[in-house]
Structure 1
Amino acid sequence: MGGSSHLSDALARGYAARGHEVLVITAAYDDAPAEEWRNGVRVVRLPAVMLPETKLAVSFDLSFATRPGLRRRLARLLDDFGPDAIHQHGQFMDLTWATGAYARRRGIPALLSVHTRLENPSARYHHVFRGLDATLVAPRLRRYRPNIVVMDSYMQEYIHRRYRGGWSELTPIPVGVDPSWIRSGSAERGRELIGVGPGVPIILSVGHVIPLRDRLGLVEALPSILERHPDAVLAVAGRVYYDVFLQRAEELGVAHAVRALGAVPKSDVPHLFAAATVESHEQGHGLGTATLESMAAGVPVVAWGRIDNFPGIPMIDGTHIFMCDTGDVAGLAGRLIRALDDPAATRLVGQNARAIVDEHFTLERVLDRHLEVLASMASDRTPVPTR
């Protein structure tokens, strides 16, 4: 229930709104119905088993639908639907592998969006994940060779490193966001949700807390920030799967300045952005959906990573974003202090960021690009008759 699922949902609704027939096949989740129509989209949820929360599972909700009869069920669903193309989300999900096999048998082109790198900061799990990529994911991709969507520079390098030979083409399409939704918030309501009054500087951090986005850098930057801005608050909005940052806050004596809000309804996210002074979630490598949503809302982003994160879309440190090297806690603290010290200059950075989103990252622009690629793939298709 994170950024990738929200983007998947938005694209499916966008395809339907443009007049295309859309069938979504996904795994069962909580008490969601097995089948329904939503926003012109037919959604079928197949029975699935949820993996227990572990560090090996990247502390995330992972479910698998593989069971006897899955291949036949998928074939019936897809043969009845008659897709011109299949858009897959997530390279290490068993429904991706199953629909990839179906696509190869039927001669149907597949577009695969790789949302997440199979990585973990722990050396122990890092080797395990490399092994899973090499033995489970890469061989399956090489069998049907999808067109892979590349969302940023880090992802491009990761795909080249882990899945060589596992694609027919690499297509750069950034993550898309809906500016009208993200700009609809109330700052007053946002402050109520965080539990602070007017005038309190808010460092907002959006996204589930997992090992790759553990918020340790932010917590370790807090002592320096609080020396300069003693009333500042770090508000973390997202389910906490990995709570080491809370333990570290206690050790550093800054726990009073940390608000762990937990999982936040999507309808409340614009209110949090409206209240925020800056946003930062030092997510390891790359700038994801939460970063772009913050930029769309005009909230200045303080991050670590690389300034060329989005190929072909130039950004300047201090003009469109505050950026420092990955792992540079002192640099992160310095840029957060700089942003809090000069509210007028910081607001200008937010305005510049908002303009970049409007030019390159709106959902409509991203939807246009996906449809161009899917249409081209479908026109080149050589169908294989069903038997």
Structure 2
Amino acid sequence: MRIAVVNNFFPPRVGGSAHMSASLAAQFAARGHEVLAITAAYGEAPAEEERDGYRVVRLPAVKMPQLGLSIDFDMSFVSPRPGNWRRLWKLLDEFKPDAIHLHGQFFDLSWLAGIYARRHGIPSLLTIHTLLISDNKLYGRVFRFLDAVLVRPILRYLKPRYVILDKLGVDYCVERYGTSDENSEYFPIAVDVAHFDKPLTKDVREEHGIGDAPLIVSLGHVIPLRNRLPLVEALPSIVDKHPGVKVVVVGRVYHDAFLKRAEELGVAESLIVTGAVPKEDVPSYFAAADIVTHDLNGGCGTASLEAMLSGTATIASVTEDNYPGIQLRNGENILLVRPDDAEAVARTVVELLDDPEHRAVIARRESAMVRANFGLDVVAEEHLRTFDKLVADADVLR
């Protein structure tokens, strides 16, 4: 089977969507399928390369200015660059895909490749990674408007089969895009188990002078949707019980409210902010940590699942039914707090730091749960079964 994987985000850009699309592409290729990945140009990355058994093509792109919105990554779009529509369609004409895997419902590459798929009768899967939501009422209204007048009409035309990663995404897509069980698959986020079985690349504690102090790691870009404020608000209570505690925030800082709040609360000295780190170093940060907290504003994304996989006690803020078909049990195979609940964060962190044996038991159960349900090989196989069915159905209609 020939599978085109399309995502504006792709390595060397870091982030859950980029890593997931690249990891799935590698899995498809490893199983004998021909794969072409099409993405937006990024930094010094080459315009074309071979990686992990498949071809990657990066189209010229325009970087979107950062406006302080809740999804304010350094996003790039290809459609403003002249000729990209023709470049993309020529690539697809030459590749002759049997199926197209689109990533991101509001990215222009997904729209352009989706239009190609629709016009050529090629089945497409669309994975919903990021939701257009914001706690800011004005931004929330703007996002809802964009979903209604722009994204939903485009998706109605494209008619993809949706891949939705969690319950929040299911509820959102039903409301905003009119999805249902008839046009959706519920696959969880894919985690690359093999990546966390490799030797560690560095000694994080030594590098940052942490020594044996209690260590909390929070890994992922800092944006308004993941603002780290619940963790910072919890820090005074945590420091009171464990005065030497350190918090390492790993990721690019697009939203610095947590730093200002730490100064106000007098806990800034407990914070170490590293910026973005290479993917190969991520396991070292999790291995160094006693506890990982990333998704405290509502969610449990790639970084949190990778931390669980690595064998580090991890706190998240979702409900036990967050992943359709996967049973989460708070206090047994995951540690859950309510979104934006600093008191619950402080209480849970202190309890874990006070009881290393319980922390280790929780960590082992979290790791086993992720390996069994979120392993890249498991999730890739689900995708391929869906592609097989979609391609077979399309052949019948031709």
Q: Normalised by the size of structure 2, how large is the TM-score?
A: 0.93
Q: Is there any run of 5+ residues in structure 2 with no aligned partner, and where?
A: 1-13
Cα gap change, 1:172/1:193 in structure 2, threshold over 3 Å: closer, same or farther?
farther
Q: What's the CA shift for 1:70?
A: 3.0
The answer for the alignment partner of 2:74 in structure 1 is 61
Cα gap change, 1:30/1:284 in structure 2, threshold over 3 Å: closer, same or farther?
same
Could you report, residue by residue, the CA deviation over 1:127-172 in whole angstroms, capped at 9, with x for unpaired residues? 1111111122111000021111011111111111111159961101
User: Which of the residues 163, 171, 195 maps onto 2:185?
Assistant: 171
The answer for the alignment partner of 2:102 in structure 1 is 88
Q: Per the alignment, in what secondary structure is the counterpart of residue 381 of structure 1? A: helix
The answer for the alignment partner of 2:6 in structure 1 is none
Cα gap change, 1:303/1:185 in structure 2, threshold over 3 Å: closer, same or farther?
farther
Q: Per the alignment, in what secondary structure is the counterpart of residue 380 of structure 1? A: helix
Which piece of structure 1 moves more, 217-226 or 165-174? 165-174
Cα gap change, 1:194/1:124 in structure 2, threshold over 3 Å: closer, same or farther?
farther
Matches within 5 A, 1:16-31: 16-31=29-44
The question of 1:111 aligning with 2:125 is answered yes
User: Which of the residues 332, 342, 367 maps onto 2:345?
Assistant: 332
User: Which of the residues 66, 74, 96 maps onto 2:88?
Assistant: 74
The question of 1:323 aligning with 2:330 is answered no
Cα gap change, 1:13/1:188 in structure 2, threshold over 3 Å: closer, same or farther?
closer
The answer for the alignment partner of 1:160 in structure 2 is 174
What letter matches 2:174 in structure 1? H
Q: Write the distance in 2 (CA, Å) between the matches of 1:135 and 1:187.
A: 47
Aligned residue pairs total 384
What letter matches 2:110 in structure 1? T
What letter matches 2:39 in structure 1? T
Matches within 5 A, 1:28-39: 28-39=41-52
Q: Per the alignment, in what secondary structure is the counterpart of residue 34 of structure 2? A: coil
Q: Write the distance in 1 (CA, Å) between the matches of 2:396 and 2:76.
A: 31
User: Which of the residues 232, 255, 270 maps onto 2:245?
Assistant: 232
Q: What's the CA shift for 1:185?
A: 5.2
Q: Is the contact between residue 253 and residue 275 of structure 2 (CA under 8 Å) also seen in structure 1?
A: yes
The answer for the alignment partner of 1:5 in structure 2 is 18
The answer for the alignment partner of 1:355 in structure 2 is 368
Q: Write the distance in 2 (CA, Å) between the matches of 1:227 and 1:322.
A: 22
Q: What's the CA shift for 1:284?
A: 2.2
Q: Write the distance in 2 (CA, Å) between the matches of 1:57 and 1:318.
A: 30
The answer for the alignment partner of 2:392 in structure 1 is 379
The answer for the alignment partner of 2:7 in structure 1 is none
Cα gap change, 1:230/1:262 in structure 2, threshold over 3 Å: closer, same or farther?
same
The question of 1:125 aligning with 2:139 is answered yes
Q: Per the alignment, in what secondary structure is the counterpart of residue 203 of structure 2? A: helix
Cα gap change, 1:317/1:166 in structure 2, threshold over 3 Å: closer, same or farther?
closer
Aligned-CA RMSD value = 1.8
The answer for the alignment partner of 1:191 in structure 2 is 205
User: Which of the residues 212, 234, 239 maps onto 1:221?
Assistant: 234
The question of 1:290 aligning with 2:340 is answered no
